Amino acid sequence: MTRLTVPDPDERNDLGAFVARVVRLDQAALVRLVARDGMVTAWAATPFDVLATRTVHGELEPGDVTVPASGLLTALTVERSGTVDPGAGGLWQGELPPANGWQAVDDVPAAELERLTERGLAVARENAGPLGPPASLLDQTVLTVSSESRPAVKVPLRCLFALSGMGFLGDSGPDAGVVRVSATGTWLRLDARYGAVVRRRLTALPLLVS
């Protein structure tokens, strides 16, 4: 049996809220749980082709498992025990970003990202087709950040939609805090108050067949 232990009730509630948002966006979503150094990190794909993640103190046996989000939500919100069975049987598609090698680029006011998101939503409504906003719109750069130690990092609109859709920005306003932008050579990460979103910055080039 798979065992997920999160001793702190507040952190269990935080993880439950994260999974509830995942289920709200996709009833059939999967959550991948990974244990490392006394922490358990939950990963989920979003409809914006961006990963959402949340980390809590805890233990997991086995240390890497993919489970249906709906079952994990039931375990966290109905059983309400320090140790639950999160389920099993999921098959994770794709890769996860590295655990190490991240460099902070800049901190951006959450209120500014909220304004950019609202502006992007208005444009998306005007251009939405049968399948939603076009990928070209979601891939548009809405923010560029840089630091003295690394080149500029471009943030696409889809990352802001994922932050907003997961409720990670929380209440907007001057006291909403900041969102930290971090990057590796190929990954982008936005850490907000209630969770983070992660996306690949570069896609692999297809092999040329001669």
Q: Are 87 and 50 within 8 A, CB to CB? A: no
- Give the pLDDT score at 175: 61
CATH T-level topology, domain 103-200: DNA Polymerase III; Chain A, domain 2 (3.10.150)
Phi then psi dihedrals of residue 184, to 5 deg = -115, -170
Residue 83 CA to residue 103 CA, distance in Å, equals: 34
| Spans of all domains in the chain | 3-84, 103-200
- Give the pLDDT score at 202: 62
Residue 5 CA to residue 3 CA, distance in Å, equals: 6
Cis before 62? omega within 30: yes
Mean pLDDT for each consecutive 10-residue tract of the chain (210 residues)?
A: 94 96 96 97 96 97 96 90 88 92 93 93 82 85 86 93 91 74 94 95 49
Residue 65 CA to residue 147 CA, distance in Å, equals: 37
Domains 3-84 and 103-200 agree in fold? yes
Query: DSSP secondary structure string, the chain?
Result: --EEE---HHHHHHHHHHHHHHHHH-TT-EEEEEEETTEEEEEEE-TTS-EEEEEEE-EEESSEEEEEHHHHHHIIIII--SEE---------S-PPPSS--EEEEEEEHHHHHHHHHHHHHHHHHH-BTTBS-HHHHTSEEEEEEETTEEEEEEEHHHHHHHHHTT-S-S-STTS-EEEEEE-SSEEEEEETTEEEEEESS-PPPPPP-
- Give the pLDDT score at 203: 47
Q: What is the CATH class of 3-84? A: alpha beta
Tokens 């240390």 belong to residue: 63
- Give the pLDDT score at 133: 80
103-109 and 83-84 beta bridge pairing: unpaired
**Number of residues that this document lists for the chain:** 210
Q: Is 190 left (phi over 0), alpha (psi -120 to 50) or beta?
A: beta
